[in-house]
C-alpha cells in the first residue's frame, strides 16, 4: 500500500515523521518492505521547511504525473497564514481516487479549503478548533476527540494523534496483534481509543496558573475515593461555590465536576492497564462507588466497558513479546 503524506510549507514535522515511523515499523515487522510504501508529497520541487528546523526533500510534488495512492494523509502548518490554491485543487482531484483520506492536526484546514469536509464529523487540535469553526461555520467539529473516522475520512487532534491514527490504520490493514507490537516497540500507549478525550486531568492540573485552583486539583488527584462534591471543593479553595465554579471554568474550560470525572477515569485506566486489582477494587479506589458506576463512566466516555478495556490494553503489554526481524508476525490472510 502506498501511503502519501502531504507536507505543506511550514508543516509540523511530527505530522510527517510520526505516521511514517509507524507505517515503516509495521512493514519491518511484517518482513515485507512493500507492505507500506511511504512517500512525502510537496507543493513544489523545493525542499519543505518544517517545524524544529527540519527540511523535507519530498519524493514527489503535486505537478508530477499521478501515481496510485492508497491512503493520503495531510500534514498541518501551525499557522496556515496562506493556503496554496494549487494544493487545494490537487486535493480535490486526488481525494476521489484514494481509499482513505485524512489529516493530522491542522491539516484539516487544507481539507476544509478543498471542500472535502461538508457533512462530515471532524476534529482538530483543541487550540485551533475555534478558528476552524470561525472559518468554516457549517462544519460539524468535535474538538474533544483524539481522532474521528467518518466513512473513509479520518481527522485527528494534536501532532502525536497522527501516530494514534497510523496505528489504527495498521490494525485495520493487518490486525490488532501487529498494531500492538508496533505500539510497544515505539514506547507508545498501546492504542488510545479514537474517542478518548484530548484532555488529561493530570496534565491540566500541572498547567493551571491559579494557585487556589491548582491546590484543589491536586487535592482531587490525591483523594479520588473521597466524595469531592463541588461545595466541599469550593470550601477548600476558600471561595463561594458560584465564584469557584466560574473561576474553575475560566481557567480549565470545564466544570469542577467534569474535572473530577476525568481524573477518576484517568486513574482507573492506569490501574486497569498496570495492576491486577479487581474491577470493584478499582471502582472503590477511584471514587466510582461500585463496578457498575465505573462501567457506565467507561462506556459513556470511551465506548467500552472496563473489562473490555483491560482485555484490549493491559494483556497485550503484559503478554505480547516482540518478534525478531527474522521472525515477523504473519500478515493478514
Is 105 part of the annotated catalytic residue set? yes
Calculate Rg over the CA atoms of the chain.
22
> Is 201:257 a contact under the CB 8 Å cutoff?
no
**Can you give the pTM of this predicted structure?**
0.64
d(CA 67, CA 3): 11
Q: Which of 17, 41, 105, 132 is catalytic?
A: 105
Q: DSSP string covering 208-263, please?
A: ---HHHHHHHHHHHH-TTS---HHHHHHHHTS-HHHHHHHHHHHHSS-HHHHHHHH
Tell me the average confidence (pLDDT) per consecutive run of 10 residues in the chain, 333 residues long.
95 95 96 94 95 94 95 90 90 96 94 95 89 94 86 89 90 87 74 50 49 86 93 94 92 89 91 88 95 94 88 51 36 34
Tell which phi-psi region holds residue 11, choosing left (phi > 0), alpha (psi between -120 and 50) or beta: beta
Domains and CATH numbers, the chain: 2-185 (3.40.50.880), 201-318 (1.10.10.60)
Cell numbers placing 272: 486497569
Amino acid at each position: 500500500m502506498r501511503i502519501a503524506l502531504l507536507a505543506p510549507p511550514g508543516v509540523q514535522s511530527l505530522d510527517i515523521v510520526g505516521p511514517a515511523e509507524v507505517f515503516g515499523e509495521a512493514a519491518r515487522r511484517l518482513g515485507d518492505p512493500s507492505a507500506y510504501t511511504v512517500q512525502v508529497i510537496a507543493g513544489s520541487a523545493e525542499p519543505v521547511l518544517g517545524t524544529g528546523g527540519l527540511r523535507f526533500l519530498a519524493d514527489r510534488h503535486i505537478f508530477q504525473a499521478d501515481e496510485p495512492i492508497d491512503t493520503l494523509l495531510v500534514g498541518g502548518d501551525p499557522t496556515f497564514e496562506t493556503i496554496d490554491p494549487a494544493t487545494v485543487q490537487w486535493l480535490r482531484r486526488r481525494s476521489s481516487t484514494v481509499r482513505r483520506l485524512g489529516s493530522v492536526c491542522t491539516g484539516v484546514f487544507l481539507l476544509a479549503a478543498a471542500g472535502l469536509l461538508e457533512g462530515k464529523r471532524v476534529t482538530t487540535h483543541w487550540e485551533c478548533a475555534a478558528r476552524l469553526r470561525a472559518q468554516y461555520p457549517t462544519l460539524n467539529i468535535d474538538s474533544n476527540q483524539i481522532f474521528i473516522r467518518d466513512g473513509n475520512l479520518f481527522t485527528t487532534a494534536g501532532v502525536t494523534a497522527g501516530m494514534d491514527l497510523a496505528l489504527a490504520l495498521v490494525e485495520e490493514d493487518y490486525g490488532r496483534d501487529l498494531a500492538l507490537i508496533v505500539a510497544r516497540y515505539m514506547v507508545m500507549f498501546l492504542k488510545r481509543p479514537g474517542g478518548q478525550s484530548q484532555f488529561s486531568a493530570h496534565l491540566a492540573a500541572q498547567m493551571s496558573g491559579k494557585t487556589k485552583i491548582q491546590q484543589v486539583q491536586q487535592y482531587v488527584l490525591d483523594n479520588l475515593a473521597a466524595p469531592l462534591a463541588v461545595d466541599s471543593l469550593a470550601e477548600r479553595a476558600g471561595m463561594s461555590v458560584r465564584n469557584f465554579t466560574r473561576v474553575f471554568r475560566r481557567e480549565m474550560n470545564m466544570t469542577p465536576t467534569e474535572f473530577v470525572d476525568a481524573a477518576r477515569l484517568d486513574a482507573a485506566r492506569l490501574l486497569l492497564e498496570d495492576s491486577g486489582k479487581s474491577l470493584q477494587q478499582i471502582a472503590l479506589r477511584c471514587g466510582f462507588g461500585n463496578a457498575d458506576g465505573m462501567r457506565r463512566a467507561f462506556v459513556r466516555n470511551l465506548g467500552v466497558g472496563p473489562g473490555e478495556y483491560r482485555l484490549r490494553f493491559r494483556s497485550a503489554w503484559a503478554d505480547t513479546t516482540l518478534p525478531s526481524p527474522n521472525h515477523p508476525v504473519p500478515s493478514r490472510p
